[in-house]
A and B are shown apart, each in its own frame.
Chain A
Amino acid sequence: MLVYLLRRIAQSVFVALAMMVIVFFGIYMIGNPVDILISPDATPREIEETMARFGFDQPIHIQFFTFVGNALQGDLGRSFVHGESAVTLILHYMPATLELAALGLFFSILIGVPLGVYAGYKSDRWQGRAIMTGSIFGFSLPNFWVGMLLILIFAVELRWLPSTGRGDTVEVLGIRLSIFSENGLQYMILPALTLALYKASLVTRLARAGTQEALVQDYVKFARAKGVSETRILFVHVLKNIMIPIVTVLGLELGSMIAFAVVTETVFAWPGMGKLLIDSILTLDRPVIVAYLMMTVLIFIVINLVVDIVYTILDPRVRLTGGST
């Protein structure tokens, strides 16, 4: 277990470093942030002074070594746009993204698992086919379109839910969260559903395939022979056995939901990290982009670890050893 963990950490450090180098030079090639940030009224001299203040007058390799030097001391730099430490800025936006992803994940399990198990159970009947056809829409419709459609139906036409933005927040352990306030939760429903739709279809398909396979297994036949109720067979015995692939996929999807919820966050003006990333890319805010992507690497690593650990809980046969990757 320890060897396994150490190897994982070494791998991730390498990935994070590679990411840093690629992003740093990549953004340098796109353009000069001062060209966008400075007031057009500024004189050529003021432009030069601003360049010098940010260190852009130095050759790129010097800029890079300065950056790496600071990064080794735990300082990923200050945002060019906000004048605040990039990490502080990302942490400010992070809770909103995490709570939205959590609710999205919850919705996708809530919708996907029962539908999938039911579709697997009735796979030859019309109910099963209808669910499968429906799931095609789930992962073929583009996210921004689904979002706009939900806004049009539930906010503009029916006026049941607010259209965009974040509602009231309550402080939990010093972090502002809206998931615990009624008003805040209303604002979360539409974006969380939009995020969940694709995942829910994925889960439905996985659960259906798993259920179909499990239903012909000996333990199901044995349970039936014992007279265990169908519901109990499906939602206790079968469900336990089909969860491994679902957890794997959801784990990976949670990572992408946190790191790249850009489209949904933009459509719903949700003040999360995705919006910060897209705004930072538009203004070439290099410290924020680099810090963000390094953080993303970290998130994926942590999630993969958690997934591996969950395996051992779900299936006692799985062992984490140095040999596995």
Chain B
Amino acid sequence: MTLRYLRLTAFAVAAALPALPAVAQELRIGLASEPSSADPHFHNLGPNNQLRRNVFESLVGTDEQQKLFPQLAVSWRPLDDTRWEFKLREGVTFSDGSTFDAYDVIYSVCRIPGVPDSPSLFTTYTKAVTDFEVPDPMTLIVHTASPYPLLPTEFSTWGIISAKANGVDGPSIAFSPDGCGDLAYPETQAFNDGSAAIGTGPFLLESFRRGEGVELVRNPGYWGEAAPWERVSMKPLTSDGPRVAALFAGDVDFIENPPLQDLDRIRGEAGLQVVQGISNRVIYLHMDHKQEPSPMITGTDGKNPLKDVRVREALSIAINRDAIVDRIMGGVAVAAGELLPAGMFGAHEDGQMPPAPYDPDRAKALLAEAGYPDGFGITIGTPNDRYINDAQVAQAVAQMWARIGIPTEIDAVTASTFFSRRNAYEFSVYLAGWGAGTGEMSSPIKALVATRDSDRGYGGTNRGQYSNPEVDDLLTRALATVDDAARQELLREASRVAMADWAILPLHFEVTPWAMTDKVMYAPRVDQYTLPASIKPAG
């Protein structure tokens, strides 16, 4: 009797559940680059950050357009110039069952500066914090030394680990920006073998094996919408040909970064498709604004012609950006007029900052006016394995410059050599790319055109040593303006000033392609991440 009753109940419950879609519950992904660790705080690097987002979440999330949305914090607001208040999400548990609260956030910030052997710490995004206050476990107040509008954005870039799971009693943590005393932290190795991989994310880390890949399983206790996949395997297939072959062979369902030359073939294959979207990465040419004579410039008697704004303009309008997008990038790129695509924070609206118009005749006239009617010799430094078709793009620019009477050579080398030489100021002109990690204009302005300044952290990648007090001033004001509308206007202004001075020559924004079977769908992301929780079964 009882048994029968139970059976009936079980049947009724099963019938009441919504029918699950009859799709494969396993997703197999071919990655273009491999994460170096499963430790969320070990290496601030694209592939690692992408993996981190599956298992560990942040207070603030970022969507496909890098707009902020509430993740482990339900809301945030500035209390005054130096304090931000975060209200935390109730009822979130880590995968070991411990409850999430404000102390886990503090514990994570405590761990970040001291991760042993880290090649790139996340302190970049936590150093603004001077103190924490916890009025109640679900409210966190963050102190900064000065007004800091980027705090919520920066709080979207690192993952939160559990204090309790690591044997630390939250309220006992004494926070200090230089370290929090003798707290027990998990070792990087413990994340890699899975024992410390305790997060709040949509997936649990089942295994992390170097060279072989990552296995994720759905987190049954996830607070948000359950991931559409029971299991996800992510294999590093770092060379292009084999990655595409794996998709064609049906060994994976989804691949990152299919090479441009294969896109048409993939589109033409029944059952396969390509999804693509603009990224936050601009490909640009930077010019030497300081050294005199500048390396590898010939025919100017030791003068540095790039210091003349007319020469810089001539170089920019001599480039036919549409032709580069069309012929070299196979249409999979968007010509750029500033350093961030239209529609992102601090960039102009579509059409307000168009790419520099192609005008070789005017370029020649400008050169003559600047005192170089016969041109001069120059060399473009470029990596040949870092950005999509990087050396070919430089090659095309060289030909276009040759047409206005500037014989141009290419110095294309592998990325590891290129970046070291660039940082040693060995190039007069170099091609590189910049992905706006924070998704707003302050990122490229601060890194690429602000005057180099160690104390303020400006100009970290400004290896052309451009310096313009007006840009610096606008940036400094923007970085201290908490009001979004006012900050956006200041950043646009800074961008206009820099572009009008031809400080740097943006070429195009990369468009990121993904290839997949027609059984799945993916909304392209400007940050180029592949997040399995957002890959949906089609139909």
Contact = CB atoms under 8 A, between A and B. Distances in A.
Interface of A: 30-48, 50, 53-54, 78, 80-84, 89, 92-93, 96, 148, 151-152, 155-156, 159, 162-166, 266-269, 271-272, 275-276, 279, 282-284
A77 B13 CA distance: 59
Name, among A93, A271, A272, the residue most crowded by chain B CB atoms within 10 Å (CB to CB).
A271
B423 A81 contact: no
Contact of B454 (A33, A45, A50, A271): A45
Contacts of B212: 165-166, 271
A271 B423 CA distance: 33
A271 B123 contact: no
B36 A282 contact: no
Interface string B232-265: 0001111101110110111100000000000000
B37 A83 contact: yes
Contact of A36 (B210, B250, B419, B447): B419
Contacts of B415: 36, 282
Given A31-B421, A83-B119, 12 more contacts: A39-B437, A41-B124, A42-B460, A43-B454, A48-B454, A53-B118, A82-B210, A155-B251, A166-B211, A267-B241, A269-B243, A283-B416
Contacts of A155: 245-246, 249, 251
Interface string B32-57: 00101100001111000000000000
A81 B434 contact: no
A113 B44 CA distance: 52
B37 to A, nearest CB: 7
Given A30-B416, A82-B36, A155-B245, A165 B213 contact: yes
A81 B120 CA distance: 9
Interface in B371-397: 385
B236 A269 contact: yes
Interface string B455-478: 101011100000000000000000
A148 B241 contact: yes
Given A45-B457, A163-B242, A165-B251, A271 B419 contact: no
A44 B119 contact: no
B120 A37 contact: yes
B420 interface: yes
A41 B209 CA distance: 28
Contacts of A269: 235-239, 242-243, 246
A282 B414 contact: yes
Nearest to A275: B211
The 3 closest A-B pairs by CB, nearest first: A271-B211, A31-B420, A43-B457
Contact of B457 (A30, A44, A156, A284): A44
A151 B241 CA distance: 10
Contact of A40 (B37, B121, B435): B435
Interface of B: 34, 36-37, 42-45, 116-121, 123-125, 188-189, 209-213, 235-239, 241-243, 245-246, 248-251, 385, 414-417, 419-421, 423, 434-435, 437-438, 443, 447, 452, 454-455, 457, 459-461
A39 B237 contact: no
A186 B143 CA distance: 58
Contacts of A43: 124, 454, 457, 460
A156 B252 CA distance: 12
A45 B455 CA distance: 8
B440 to A, nearest CB: 12
A39 B117 contact: no
A82 B43 CA distance: 9
Given A39-B45, A39-B437, A267-B239, A31 B416 contact: yes
Contacts of A42: 44, 120, 124, 460
B117 A83 contact: yes
A282 B209 CA distance: 20
B251 A267 contact: no
B213 A31 contact: no
Contacts of B236: 269
A266 B241 CA distance: 10
A222 to B, nearest CB: 54
A40 to B, nearest CB: 6
